[in-house]
Amino acid sequence: MSTKTYDKQNPAFYALLVALVVMAVGPIVMMLTTSLKLNVDIMSDSSSLLFMPTIRNYETALCDFLWYEAPHIDYCDKTFGRALVNSLIIALVSTVITLVIGCMAAYALVRFRFMGRDTVSLSTLAMRMVPPAVLLVPVFGIWTFQFQIDGTRAGIILVYVAMNLPFVIWILQSFIVQVPIQLEEAARMDGAGPFKGFFLVVLPLIKPGLAAAAIFTFRVAWNEFLLANALADRNSRTVPVTIVNSITEFDIDWGVIMATGMLLAIPPIIFTFVASRQIITGMTAGAVKG
């Protein structure tokens, strides 16, 4: 990269770039600054940039994890802390399960020539078409009356795994196709069975694909609201559900709610900065490669 030369552009072009960046990031920065303000500062008419940052809102939201006594909290509302734990468990477990079984399925589809790539991408597209709202009624009915797993984390995890599988299978397929089959044949010569060949030879080679798939799955499970809202009970609520519950109230405590929103936004933001290339690969693989 360092040897690459860059073209010189005129200043107006850079001004446009700056404007675009401000537009893209501005609302997020505003959420961050609001979450660091006291309500007095949020409501005051004075300039919104000069204020004393405080972490009080975060203390209020995360009060059950505090190891010290915060003087401004009279009553600790544990809803959010519990939801955060639920969200973490649900997102992580469903990501792991989706990756493991999605990976195996993708491998079988590629190596054993079950269906063509066209069939799989067509069915992925078909599954992508189904809005979560469409799944709402049947999933609620089945989970409540037949499986009786409503209100449990396992129930929510099951929906998320199913929702993410088509996309994961499809994206991993495009990576597995690129693994030369000779490598596996060599492993077989050396006495490795199909399972061993898969786990020790193929998996390490498709790490970038796994990363992309993992981020997308985690993101869906972490951000999803509608189905979690229908399935969760008091003890298995996820963060998006608690956020929506607290804004339907008449009086919104903007400082605290922005702090919870920020906490919900932090993992995806971290992923974006760490693995933007994988994310872009995952996004473009669909359209550009076909």
d(CA 241, CA 230): 9
200 binds other proteins (CB under 8 A): no
* Side chain identity at residue 186, one-letter code: A
Helices (H) and strands (E) in the chain, counts: 14, 0
Give least dist CB 66 to other proteins, A.
23
CB neighbours of 29 closer than 8 A, spacing ≥ 6? none
Residue with tokens 């552009």: 9
| DSSP letter assigned to residue 112 | T
Q: Which is nearer to other proteins, 23 or 75 (CB)?
A: 23
* Side chain identity at residue 168, one-letter code: V
Give least dist CB 137 to other proteins, A.
5
81 binds other proteins (CB under 8 A): no
Q: Which is nearer to other proteins, 3 or 75 (CB)?
A: 3
Give least dist CB 9 to other proteins, A.
6
Structure tokens, 30: 């505003």
**What count of residues does the chain have?**
290
Rule CB under 8 A: which of 3-32 touch other proteins? 4-7, 9, 13, 16-17, 20-21, 23-25, 27-28, 30-31
Of the residues 193, 207, 231, 236, which one makes contact with other proteins according to CB under 8 A: 193
Phi and psi at residue 180, to the nearest 5°? -65, 135
* Side chain identity at residue 174, one-letter code: S
Query: Mask: binding to other proteins, 160-179, rule CB under 8 A, as x and -?
Result: -xxx-xx--x----------
Query: Mask: binding to other proteins, 38-77, rule CB under 8 A, as x and -?
Result: ----xx----x-----------------------------
The DSSP element (H or E) to which 246 belongs, if any, is helix 239-247
256 binds other proteins (CB under 8 A): no
Query: Mask: binding to other proteins, 100-129, rule CB under 8 A, as x and -?
Result: xxx-xx-xxx-xx-x----------xxxxx
Structure tokens, 266: 């932090």
276 binds other proteins (CB under 8 A): yes
Count of chain residues binding other proteins (CB under 8 A) = 96
85 binds other proteins (CB under 8 A): no
Of the residues 53, 116, 141, 204, which one makes contact with other proteins according to CB under 8 A: 141
Binding window for other proteins (CB under 8 A); candidates: 58-66, 73-81, 178-186, 192-200: 192-200
Binding window for other proteins (CB under 8 A); candidates: 55-63, 77-85, 201-209, 224-232: 224-232
Q: Which of 218, 271, 241, 266 is nearest to 92 (CA)?
A: 218
d(CA 59, CA 65): 9
* CB neighbour class for 233 (10 Å; exposed up to 12, middle 13-18, buried from 19): exposed
Q: Which is nearer to other proteins, 70 or 285 (CB)?
A: 285
User: What is the residue-wise DSSP string for 17-28?
Assistant: HHHHHHHHHHHH
d(CA 35, CA 53): 9
Of the residues 187, 206, 231, 279, which one makes contact with other proteins according to CB under 8 A: 279
Quote the crossing angle between the two packed helices 207-223 and 79-111, to the nearest 10°: 140
Of the residues 159, 210, 232, 256, which one makes contact with other proteins according to CB under 8 A: 159
